[in-house]
Chain A
Amino acid sequence: MSERERSGRHRTAPVLDLDAIIDDPGTRIVVCCGSGGVGKTTTAAALGLRAAERGRNAVVLTVDPARRLAQSMGLTELDNTPRPVAGVEGEGRLHAMMLDMKRTFDEIIEAHADPERARQILTNPFYQSLSSSFSGTQEYMAMEKLGQLRRAGDWDLIIVDTPPSRSALDFLDAPERLGRFLDGRLIRLLMAPAKAGGRSAFKLLNAGFGIVAGALTKLLGAQVLKDLQTFVSALDAVFGGFRARAEQTYKLLQAPGTAFVVVAAPERDAMREASYFVERLAEERMPLAGLVVNRVHRAPAAVLSAARSTAAAEDLESRGEHELTSAVLRLHAGRMQLAAREHREQEHFVSAHPTVPVAQVPAMSEDVHDLEGLRRVGELLAAQ
């Protein structure tokens, strides 16, 4: 094994200096994104704590934290309000909140519609499905909440954890998808009855739309179609607001004060997803800070290669001596193999994106349970 492989990081990947990012007063938003199960939320929380303990007035917005991680920041319920985190050392302050997707959505409706219309929307079955579903809405509401926190101006650094989507890219697409939908022809079709003063809209439409209307009625049934029409016309009042806010948040993400941190684990799927994400951010002109690779396995006795360990273990076994040593050597060889594989997975990323700064966090045997654990993760993130 070469020196480079032993060091665990490819030499050409620049080092991601997270302290420089969180210390820079110009950094106002840090977005942690990546595929599910790579430690995104933990990374966001640890960065928030570290930033606060280095003097920032920070807030961490988490979307769906594991119970014990939430507890480590003193969060016990999903209440959509930033709560101060106790036990933070130093001059800075830390707040944390869990996103309540439905309440965030309700608040937008209430802010943009008169009370009667708001009531119509909030009680409609379509609204209830939309506002409590997990695909799309969560992403959209996370971005909406981020915009709100930014406008509130109570914090000088907002760290946001993105939803556990099926794909890391979902949260970038969700606002646009919703916008496209709201502007779409289907909506205009469904809006027609209200605008035609109660007459059946479908009669007014051309033949192409006639087919569609027939299909929709067959597919959904007349009652569903009616509910949907009621919903869509009631929602009409807040459309403009929706779209404007989605665009505002999108621009906020492109602004220089934003830093995207892509989080991954040294496994094929997660690294591939990280690659896509980096490319996508570049396409959207969103400012990428770098890649954090969590759960990297290292071997303290790396001077001893996998091949030498295995050979020596075989030798001892054939002589029937030093049983313990041969078992330890086998264990070590397995660990070296794992480290080598993880290194290869990262190398693919680095050769495709040689300019992206990388930080590695070693695998820890236990999950984070308390502030001390988060502090430790923060130290590891910074110690590159």
Chain B
Amino acid sequence: MRARDTDWDGVRLHVVTGKGGTGKTTVAAALALALASGGRKVLLVEVEGRQGIAQVFDLPPLPYEERKIAVAPDGGDVYALAVDPEEAMLEYLEMFYGMRRAGKALTKIGVVDFATTIAPGFRDVLVTGKTSEAVRRKGKDGRRIYDAVVLDAPPTGRVARFLNVTSEVAGLARVGPIKNHADLVNGVVASPETAVHFVTLLEEMPVQETLDGLDELREAGLPPGGIFTNMVRESLLPASVLEAAAKGRFDPAELALGLKAAGLAEGGSDAAAVAEALAEEIAEHARRTRLERRERRSLDTSGRPRYELPLLADGVDLAGLYELAESIHAQGAA
């Protein structure tokens, strides 16, 4: 295992959240790979029953069981766990009370429906409880089993509530086993060993939600992590061209000449038509670049460490995932 110098040394629980459509699960998976690189052991956890990890790694649906799903660059293992609240509840009853049979009976009469319908806070405690158990778990040698745990958490709008289990169940259970369990979970989630990362795009709504989400974390006393800007397209055009294009003053004549030189246009009128169409693309690109610059500035106001991940032209396949992991590593996030 090589020595590290990353922005998140000492963090063992990486919680990844983001607005829907920002690629939260993909980034969580790439982060797990990056953290595991160089011979470490990392657990990637999902909690929403979507089987997102299986889809990202192109695997059949995962059971409620920690299993190895990928080998990281330079050796290192990524394990995955799809937490099922019902199974987590049975496990909890067995582990703490030795009540496997009663647990089954509880399931049969709809206690799980109860947990998800009447008191979703209970469900969250079970799920985050399982995650923090994995963070704390130690082997026979007294060392932690996992070097890090990455939690693919619910979307930004719900994450503070999801993690803030103590206050979530406080109204329901002021004393008793659930309360004690929630306090134990809170001890992990609110500690410096945890960081809550946000995944965003350079678009207005996801950026706004990220900033709102950071405020909510702060209010809840939860430890904020970094901001991962996903699907970033690099701008190949010089600033002067972009500026002219944004103002609608881009002259396609030079482009038409270039097209002819490249053998892409037969006659002058052909070249001019293609150049016009390309100019339209440039203008749109310029407008977007300007907006992206504005969104970057908004993100900078948060003062959080920022990482940018490229848009993969062919979509995220397994090779793409390793590419993103490499980028995360190179930027010092893992």
A→B interface (CB under 8 Å) = 35-38, 64, 66-68, 125-126, 128-130, 133-136, 164, 166-167, 177-178, 180-181, 184-187, 189, 208, 211-212, 214-216, 218-224, 227-228, 265, 267-270, 272, 299-301, 303-304, 308-309, 312-313, 315-316, 321-322, 324-332, 334-335, 337-338, 341, 345, 365-367
Contact = CB atoms under 8 A, between A and B. Distances in A.
Given A67-B208, A315-B262, A338-B313, A164 B20 contact: yes
Interface residues of B, number: 78
A185 B48 CA distance: 26
Given A134-B158, A338-B313, 17 more contacts: A166-B48, A177-B117, A186-B111, A212-B109, A218-B97, A219-B93, A219-B177, A265-B21, A272-B55, A299-B281, A301-B277, A303-B274, A312-B263, A316-B261, A322-B257, A322-B258, A366-B204
Interface stretch (B59-67, B69-77, B282-290): B282-290
Given A136-B116, A181-B113, A367-B203, A328 B262 contact: no
Rank and list the top 7 A-B pairs by shortest CB-CB distance, nearest first: A221-B176, A36-B20, A325-B258, A37-B21, A37-B20, A322-B258, A301-B277
Nearest to A314: B262
B261 A125 contact: no
B178 A301 contact: no
B118 interface: yes
Name which of B99, B117, B208, B282 has the most chain A CB atoms within 10 A of its CB.
B117
B110 A125 contact: no
B174 interface: yes
B122 to A, nearest CB: 9
B205 A366 contact: no
Given A212-B102, A223-B176, A133 B121 contact: yes
5 contacts: A211-B101, A212-B106, A223-B174, A265-B21, A303-B277
Given A312-B262, A326-B258, A328-B278, A36 B19 contact: yes
B105 A301 contact: no
Contacts of A189: 109
B20 A221 contact: no
A130 B48 CA distance: 19
A218 to B, nearest CB: 6
Interface in B173-220: 173-179, 203-206, 208
Contacts of A219: 93, 97, 106, 177-178
Interface stretch (B1-9, B133-141, B233-241): B233-241
Contacts of A334: 233, 313
Interface in B284-322: 284-285, 287-288, 291, 311, 313-315
A68 B203 CA distance: 13
B120 A133 contact: yes
A129 B255 contact: no
B154 interface: yes
A191 to B, nearest CB: 12
Interface in B259-279: 259, 261-264, 274, 277-278
B155 A125 contact: no
Contact of B113 (A180, A211, A215, A367): A180
B119 interface: yes
B20 A134 contact: no
Contact of A166 (B103, B117, B154): B154
Contact of A218 (B99, B123, B171, B204): B99
Contacts of B55: 268-269, 272
A335 B277 CA distance: 13
A219 B129 CA distance: 14
Nearest to B92: A219
A362 to B, nearest CB: 10
Interface string B15-39: 0000111100000000000000000
Determine chain B's interface SS by DSSP, over half rule: helix
A14 to B, nearest CB: 26
Contact of B155 (A126, A164, A222, A313): A164
A369 to B, nearest CB: 9
B161 interface: yes
Contacts of A218: 97, 99, 177
A308 B262 CA distance: 10
A326 B125 CA distance: 55
B173 A181 contact: no
Interface of B: 19-22, 48-50, 52, 55, 93, 97, 99, 101-103, 105-106, 108-111, 113-114, 116-121, 123, 154-155, 157-158, 161, 171-179, 203-206, 208, 233, 236-238, 241, 254-255, 257-259, 261-264, 274, 277-278, 280-282, 284-285, 287-288, 291, 311, 313-315
A128 B167 CA distance: 13
Given A130-B119, A325-B258, A334-B233, A220 B281 contact: no
A66 B205 CA distance: 7
Contact of A38 (B21, B116, B123, B257): B21
B110 A185 contact: yes
Contacts of B52: 269
Given A218-B177, A316-B258, A367-B203, A136 B117 contact: yes
Nearest to A329: B262
Contacts of A184: 109-110, 113-114
B176 A365 contact: no
B282 A331 contact: yes
Nearest to B108: A185
A327 B237 contact: yes
Contacts of B204: 68, 366-367
B172 A365 contact: no
Contact of B284 (A37, A220, A328, A365): A365
A36 B155 contact: yes
A336 to B, nearest CB: 10
A221 B179 contact: yes
Contacts of A270: 21
A220 B176 contact: yes
A135 B120 contact: yes
B195 to A, nearest CB: 23
Contacts of A303: 274, 277
B255 A328 contact: yes
Contact of A167 (B50, B233, B241): B50
